[in-house]
Amino acid sequence: MTNEQQEEQWRQDGIRWGIIAGGIVVVLFASVYFFQRELVLSRGLWLSTYAVYIFAMWKSQSKVESEELKSYIQPGFMVFVVANALFYFYYHLLFAVFDPELVKLQGELMAAQGYDPKDAVMPTAGGSFFAYAQSLIPGFLLATAIGFILSRRR
């Protein structure tokens, strides 16, 4: 396989698994929202999405046939970029368009835990994008860790 073919393959795998993972996470959050909407604010639910991301990243990275760590990182990070873009788009729509009352609920839950309820703010498009951009840092670290593990197994 030529370098161009390998590059195209990892992009396709990354996008495909990213769409799958992002779709699963959006369906998960939508299901939880309709079941018990305050759980959408749960840190545990947010952290559980990493299990979906790790699985999808592993699947895309396990097809790599290279000696270079970079070749392993690229498809996994692509998965995270696409999946989290889908999630943050949903997140923004949920809080800013479909149910702005979630911000009020978040403020009430924060006050019950001793935090300042004024810290619960309506997400803006810029704020959601900034949160997405910040999320890419742990996504890259995760892709690197999985890539390192898989590259050592060959």
Amino acid symbol at 135: S
Q: What is the pTM of this model?
A: 0.89
74-97 pLDDT per residue, tens: 999 999 999 999 999 999 999 888
Instruction: Give the pair of three-digit tokens for residue 132.
Output: 């997405």
Q: What is the rounded CA–CA span in Å between residue 15 and residue 8? A: 11
Dihedral sign from CA coordinates of 35, 40, 44, 50 = positive
Question: What is the three-class DSSP state of 97?
Answer: helix
95-114 pLDDT per residue, tens: 888 998 888 888 888 888 88
Q: Which residues are CB-neighbours of 1 under 8 A, at least 6 positions away?
A: 9, 65
- Measured at the alpha carbon of residue 138, what is the angle toward residues 91 and 64, in degrees to the nearest 5? 105
